A and B are shown apart, each in its own frame.
Chain A
């Protein structure tokens, strides 16, 4: 067929015009993914997060020894081939403790944020959509939670729940952190709902007879999705710090469950002689939080470049 630059002429001299190839328009989602792929920070963050996930899932296989069995004959060993990161005061291998600690940190970080999301998003949707007394009531409770300095509330909640070891202890920490984060989601979603609620297409939906719950889920919720995703990723980073802080104060998961914050606190007293014991758990926390922050930042830039 004739090229674009020549005037296309057919057999009898009439103009033969090709339909110009229409570029397929990208969905916003695809645009976001493309921007994400271009951002180095986001990719580095994603790589770190994925690496941590692998370590957490395969902790049992990767850790050379058990993190909780103590060997009193081998306390305070310097880093060596047998104990790459040394041992602590109970003779436990630090490397294994740190590897298993990944599990706790990631589990607490992710589940507390997901829990807050599951509770906060519906609250925000209902409060924003129905307004009136429901809105006032819900937001009063949210403001009450937000009136507290975050750490103070988490500390008091953990003291009420009573820190314990094992799975139950971890669940308590997850619950405490989730409660503190719920208002963030509720307010975020409520703001989005309020900005969309009065638009014409919502009114059109109602006029056609679409039921309220379906309007909320199908038409209003997608608008909030981008901020929710970004808040969740960055929220995981904050949750990990809060969990580490709680453990540092002795109010998180209790020993023998391996926890980075606890290890850091427990070994600070030995910092003059065995400084690596508090250094490595701290480095682990730092790298984890950095990974999630980098990825979350990249996500934010990718999903809404206006925020840059």
Chain B
């Protein structure tokens, strides 16, 4: 098992490198390059050529990639053309925002999905079940940004601006720069709507999945045995059925991470949050190569690590599963 974990950890590096390489090549296939934006009104052909040489943009793509890798190994993530700051600094500044958003959205999703699934499974084909399933169906069909708009309408426009519509207040301790607003209440106010917007869609999918898994588990013999032994219903449901039903659900949750990352991009754009999502999309549109590479590196790494964690949790929940034996 330990060897398996080690092998998977080592396997992260080639996967992440491959993704960054593909992004590298794709960015350079886009018409236009950062030099045009950089020089702006003062653009002349001569200056453009000189600037390209200075940034190393006229070298073959493979060489450029190796240079980037070399600098990366020394801890230099390059400098962003858009902001003028080192990319690593920007990434560390924005990472807590996106991390908080994603973690809270999953919490929201689980808080909604687990009770709904349990109700749906225990009272199958009753009104409670049908309403839970319908709400789940609605949740799956709403795009995150529309839900965000609805939340904005309710809480920012209506209700006399109870929640702010944009901006960000940092959790105390997460801000790496000198100047930033921090505070627990302010942070909660800013993160609540985005987290709900992102979490409800995931909750809908999780509810449907968990409910059908629970239905299967409740019919099994060991649950009947547990009930026959006289175990309380709560213990039967929570300890025995839920744990087993969660296993295939978690696998799917891992696959959901891809959607979560994309959804985070959209939600951050809608609520104007200073996170990695807005970082990445601003960079892609402005063709800021260094910034895009930083964004791709962090995203790919997170994606791969989360998949590994999901696999390991799988093994934790079901002791019969031990990899690599």
Q: Which residues of A contact B (CB under 8 A)?
A: 41, 144, 147-152, 155-157, 159-160, 162, 237, 241, 244-245, 248-250, 261, 264-265, 268, 271-272, 275, 278-279, 282-283, 285-286, 289-290, 293-294, 297, 308
Shortest beta-carbon distance from A186 to chain B in Å: 16
Q: Does B19 contact A (CB under 8 A)?
A: yes
* 0/1 string, B252-275, CB within 8 A of A gives 1: 000001110111011001100000
* Number of A-B residue pairs at CB separation under 8 A: 113
Q: Identify 6 new A-B residue pairs, CB closer than 8 A, beyond the known A41-B137, A248-B143, A289-B142.
A: A245-B145, A248-B270, A271-B153, A275-B153, A282-B146, A282-B150
Is B15 part of the contact surface with A, judged by Cβ < 8 Å?
yes
CB of A263, distance to nearest CB on chain B (Å): 11
Q: Please tell me if the beta carbons of B258 and A285 are within 8 angstroms of each other in the complex.
A: no
When the two chains form their complex, are residues B142 and A152 in contact, meaning their CB atoms are under 8 A apart? no
A264 with B262, Cβ < 8 A, contacts A275-B153, A293-B140 known: no
Contact B143 A245 (CB under 8 A): yes
Minimal beta-carbon separation of A145 from chain B (angstroms): 10
Q: Return the 7 tightest CB-CB contacts between A and B, nearest first.
A: A151-B262, A282-B146, A149-B258, A290-B141, A289-B141, A149-B261, A241-B143
Docked-complex contact B281 and A155, CB < 8 angstroms? yes
Task: Name the CB-closest residue of A to B148.
Answer: A268
Contacts of B15 in A (CB 8 A): 147
User: What residues of chain A lie closer than 8 Å to B93, measured between beta carbons?
Assistant: none
Contact stretch, chosen from B24-32, B57-65, B186-194:
B24-32
B258 touches A150 (CB 8 A): yes
Tell me which residues across on chain B come within 8 A of A248, comparing CB atoms: 143, 145, 266, 269-270
Contacts of B19 in A (CB 8 A): 147-148
Least CB separation from B28: chain A residue? A160
- B162 lies within 8 A of chain A by Cβ: no
Which residues on the B side are within 8 Å of A272 (C-beta)? 156-157
B152 interface hit (Cβ, 8 Å): yes
Q: Known: A159-B30, A249-B281. Is A151-B265 also a contact (CB below 8 A)?
A: yes
